[in-house]
A and B are shown apart, each in its own frame.
Chain A
Amino acid sequence: MDPSASVETHHDPHSHAGEHEHHELGWWRKYIFSTDHKVIGIQYGLCGLAFLFLGFCLMMLMRWQLAYPGQALPVIGKFLPHIFGPGSMPDGKMTPDFYNSLGAMHGTIMIFLGVVPLAFAAFGNFVVPLQIGAPDMTFPKVNAASFWAFGVGGVIMLISFFVPGGAAKSGWTSYTPLAGIADSGPGHNPVFNGQTLWLIGFIFLITSSLLGAVNFITTIIQLRAKGLTWMRLPFFVWAQFVTAFLLLLAFPPLEAAIVMQLMDRLAHTSFFLPTGLVVNGVPMSISGGGSPLLWQHLFWFLGHPEVYVLILPAFGIVAEILANNSRKPLWGYKSLVFSVLVIGFLSFIVWAHHMWLTGMGSAVSAFFQTTTLLISIPSVIILSAFFISLWGGSIRFNVPMLFTIAFLPMFGIGGLTGIPLAFNSADLYLHDTYYVIAHFHYIVAPGTIFGLFAGVYYWFPKATGRKMSEFWGKVHFWPTLICMNMIFLPMFLQGMAGMHRRWYDGGQGWNVANDHTIWGLTGFQWNHPISWAAWAMGLAQIPFIINFFWSIKHGEKVNDNPWEATTLEWTAPSPPPHGNFVHTPVAYRGPYEYSLPGRERDFTMQNEPVEPAERTRRKPPAEPVLA
C-alpha cells in the first residue's frame, strides 16, 4: 500500500477508502469547513465580492459628503445613525470622525478584504490547481486555516465599526504618531477601539496570506502535472507564483510594524512616537525616542509590493482571456514571464517613492526614483505584449473579453499617469491630491477590478457548469466602463488644480479662493458629476449581482470547455469533483496553442499528444518531461 495513502486515512478513522471520502462528508464539512481548494476558492470569492461591495458602499456615502458637504443625506441618512451610532451621521449629516473612518476603512476593506482575497486567494485557489493538473493544494488543511484566519480578520474589521468611537480613522496607511494616539482616551475602550481592532484584525489577515502564499508556491513547484514544465505554465500561474512571493516576503515587515504599533497602544511604548510629543497642548507621558518615519518605511515595504499583489493576478486573468478570445497564442510568452519576475523583484526596492515629502534626503530619493522608473519597463513590456496579442486575431467580443479589452487602456492610463508621481520634483506638487487618487484607482478599479470581473465571467462555467448571461453581462459592462471614467478622469483635473485628497468638506472652502473653472465647473463643482457617476455605477452592479446568483441555478448549461480554451482546467468536468480530474492529466505542449496550422479545430489543448507530423514541423522537444 502506498504510504501516503495510509497517512491520509489516519486523520479520519471513518474513511477507509480515500477515493470515496468526500461522499461521507456532511453538509458543514463539504461546504463550510471544507479543505477542498475549489470550495475554499469560492468561499474566498464570495467573501471578497461582498467586501468589495461593502467598501464601495462606504465610498458612495463619502461621495455624498464630498459633493454636498454638511447637508443631510436624504432617506438613508435617517437610518445610518441607528447602525453606526449617534456619532456617525446625526440628522443625516456626516461627522468628520465618521468621514475619516469611512475613508480609512474603504481603503482597508477594498485592498485587504476585497481585492487580495478575490484576485489572489479566490482565483488562485480555484484556478491554479486545476491549471497545473493537481488534485488539490499541497496543504489542504493549511488552506482552510488560511481562509478562516481571513474570516476572523474580516469579522474583527467589521466589529470595529460598532465599538465606541467607531472604526479606525487614520487612513489605510495608519501613519504614526496620529494612529498611535487615535481612538484612545475618554470614551474609548483600551482594546476594543477602532485603531487597536484594525491592528489585531490585520494580524489575522497577514497570517492568512502567509499561509496562502506558502501553499501556493509549494503547490506550483510540487504538483504540476507530468509534462507541465515551467515554460508550459499558463501565464496566470506565473502571475500567481510571483504574487505569492510578494505576499510571503512583503507582509512580515508590516506584521512587525503592526506588533510595534500594538505595543505602542497597549503597552505604551514609543516605537513610533517621537521625543517631546505634545497632544492637545499637553506633553505626552511617554519615553519618546521613537520614529514616525520607521512606520512609514515598514508600511510601504509592504505597501508597494501590495500594489503588485493587486495587479499581477489581474494580468494573469487578462492574459488567459486575451489568448482565448483572440484565438491566437499570447504574444511574447517568455518576455511576459521574465517581466513578471522582474516586476516581482523590483517591487521590493521602490517603496520609498511614497515618501518623497518626508525629507529622507536627495540621495535616497534619487535611488528610489531610479528603481521606480525601472519598474515601468517590465510593466510596459507586459501591456505591449497584451496589445500585440490582439493583432491579427479573430476576436470574440464576449463579456469576459469586453472587460479584458477595457482593462488594457484603463491600466495604461493608470500606469502612464504614475510616471509624473515617480519624479520627486513633480510629486512635490501632486502629492496627496486627487491626481494620486485618480492614478491608483485607474490601476485598481477599472484595471484590477475589470480583470476580476472578466475572471468571474470566464471561470463561472467551470465552477457551476453554467454560463452567466451574456446580455446582462453587457448591461453590466457598458455602464460600469462609462461610470468608471466619469468618476476618475475629472479627478486628474481636480488634482492638478490643487485639490487635496483628504478634505472633509470636499474642497468647498478651498474653492472660495480657487474658483477658476475647468470646462465650466470649478474644482469643487466637479464633485457633483463624479458623485452621481459613482452612484450610477452602484446601480450598474445590480445586473451583475442578479446575473451571478441567477445563473448558478438557471444559467445556460454548457460543456466542460465552453470557451474552447487550451489549458488543463478545461479538461476537468464542470464543476470538477473532489480530486478534480477523471484521468490524471499529462501536458504535451505549451498553454496557448491556438490556430495551429493543419488542425481541424482552432485550439489544441495542453493534454493532446503531439502528432508525428507536428513533431517534424516543430523545433522544441515535444516529449513530456518526467515530473
Chain B
Amino acid sequence: MEIPYTVSNRPDTGLWNAKIGIWLFLASEVMLFGALFSAYIFLRIDAAPGTWPHGLLNVPVGTMNTAILIISSVTVVLAWAALKMRRYRAYWWYMLATITCGLIFLTVKLAYEWPQKFEHFGAYIKPDALAKYEKYLGNERRLEKGLEPRIEITGHLHSQNATEYEVALDPVNADPDDPAMDRPHFIPLPVTDKIATIEKADVQRATMFLPTHSAYFASYFTITGLHGLHVLGGVIVFIYMWLPVSKKLYQRNPEHLANRVEVSGLFWHFVDLVWIFVFPLFYLL
C-alpha cells in the first residue's frame, strides 16, 4: 500500500499532501499566537497607569535578532532553490547558514537578553509612600506635563536587609526630572552608581524582572518563550535535513527532499513573521 500524492501533485488540487498539511498547521498556529497577542492587547488596555513599563528591552539587540531571522528566511529559500536546481553542495551551505542563524537567535535570547532581565530589580512603591521617593520618581513634573506617574524604582539590587533594599538606580530613577528620561532610549543606558535606599515597609511588591514581575513581563516571557520553542523546533528539523541521512533521500528522490525543505521553510517563515509582531509590540511600543 502506498499513499498517493506524497511527492507529486494531485491534478485537480495542484498540490502534494504535505503542502496542504503545513498550511493548515500554520492556520492553527496563527490562532495560537493570535490568542496570545489578543491577550497582550487585553492586558495592556486594562493596565493601571504606571504598571506597563516602556523601554526596558535592548532595541539594538532586538533589531539584530530581527535581521538574523530575516536573513535565515532568505537562506532557507536559497537552500530550497538550490535543491530544485539539484545543487546539493550549495544546499548544504545554505542550510548550514539557516541553522547557524537560528542558533545565534536562540543564544542571544537565552544567554544574553533573558539573563540580563533576571538580574534587574524593580520595587513598586505603595501609593501612600510615593511622595517619600519623589526624588527618584519625579512625579510632580510628570503630573504637570500630563505623563503617566512612575510607581516603580528599578536598578540592580545592591544589597538588602530585613528592613530595606539598596538599589543601584537606573538612569530613569537616578535623574527622574531629566526630560531625556520622558522617552525610552533606543540604546539602553547602563545602571548608574547612585544608590537609593528603599524601606521594605514602603514597598508594595519587589521582584527581579521575572515573569511574575508584571503583566508586561509575563506576556514577554510567555510569548518570546513560545516563539523560542518554535525556533528550536525549526532548527532541529533543519539539522535533520542537513545531516547525511537526508543526503540518502536526496540521492533517491531529490524532489522529496526539496518538498520537505519547502514545508519546513514555510514553517520557518511563519516563525519569522511571529517575531515581526513580537519585536514592535515588546521592544518599540
Contact = CB atoms under 8 A, between A and B. Distances in A.
Given A3-B7, A7-B256, A222-B10, A291 B43 contact: yes
Contacts of A532: none
B1 A18 contact: yes
Interface in A1-52: 2-8, 10, 18-19, 21-22
A525 interface: no
A598 to B, nearest CB: 32
Given A222-B15, A287-B212, 16 more contacts: A6-B253, A19-B1, A138-B3, A218-B20, A222-B4, A223-B5, A252-B29, A256-B32, A260-B36, A271-B39, A271-B215, A271-B222, A287-B205, A289-B48, A294-B43, A301-B35
Nearest to B252: A6
Interface string A579-591: 1100000000000
Contacts of B115: none
Interface stretch (A193-201, A232-240, A261-269): A261-269
Contacts of A18: 1-2
23 contacts: A19-B1, A135-B2, A138-B5, A210-B28, A214-B24, A218-B20, A222-B4, A222-B15, A223-B5, A252-B31, A253-B34, A256-B35, A256-B39, A259-B36, A260-B222, A263-B222, A267-B210, A267-B212, A271-B39, A289-B214, A291-B42, A298-B35, A625-B12
A223 B3 contact: yes
Contact of B212 (A217, A268, A301): A268
B212 A8 contact: no
A135 B3 contact: yes
Given A19-B1, A269-B218, A286-B212, A214 B35 contact: no
B64 interface: no
A140 B221 CA distance: 35
B154 to A, nearest CB: 14
Q: Nearest 3 CB-CB pairs, A to B?
A: A579-B1, A269-B218, A253-B35
B46 interface: yes
A513 interface: no
Interface in B1-34: 1-8, 10-13, 15-18, 20-21, 24-25, 27-29, 31-34
Contact of A289 (B7, B25, B51, B207): B51
Interface string B232-272: 00000000000000001100110110000000000000000
A255 interface: yes
A440 interface: no
Interface of A: 2-8, 10, 18-19, 21-22, 135-140, 142, 210, 213-215, 217-218, 221-223, 248-253, 255-257, 259-260, 263, 267-271, 275, 285-287, 289-291, 294, 297-298, 301, 578-580, 625-627
B149 interface: no
B117 interface: no
Contacts of B28: 210, 213-214, 248-249, 251-252
A218 B35 CA distance: 24
B245 to A, nearest CB: 10
Most buried by A among B3, B11, B43, B248: B3
Contacts of B31: 249-253
A218 B11 contact: no
Contacts of B20: 217-218, 221-222
Contacts of A578: 1
Contacts of A257: 35, 39
B123 to A, nearest CB: 12
Interface in B23-72: 24-25, 27-29, 31-36, 38-39, 42-43, 46-48, 51
B12 A287 contact: no
B156 interface: no
Nearest to B215: A289
Interface string B176-204: 00000000000000000000000000000
Most buried by A among B20, B31, B226, B253: B31
A2 B5 CA distance: 11
B127 to A, nearest CB: 12
Contacts of A217: 20, 24
A287 B46 CA distance: 14
Contacts of B218: 260, 263, 267, 269-271, 287
B119 to A, nearest CB: 17
Contact of A139 (B7, B21, B249): B21
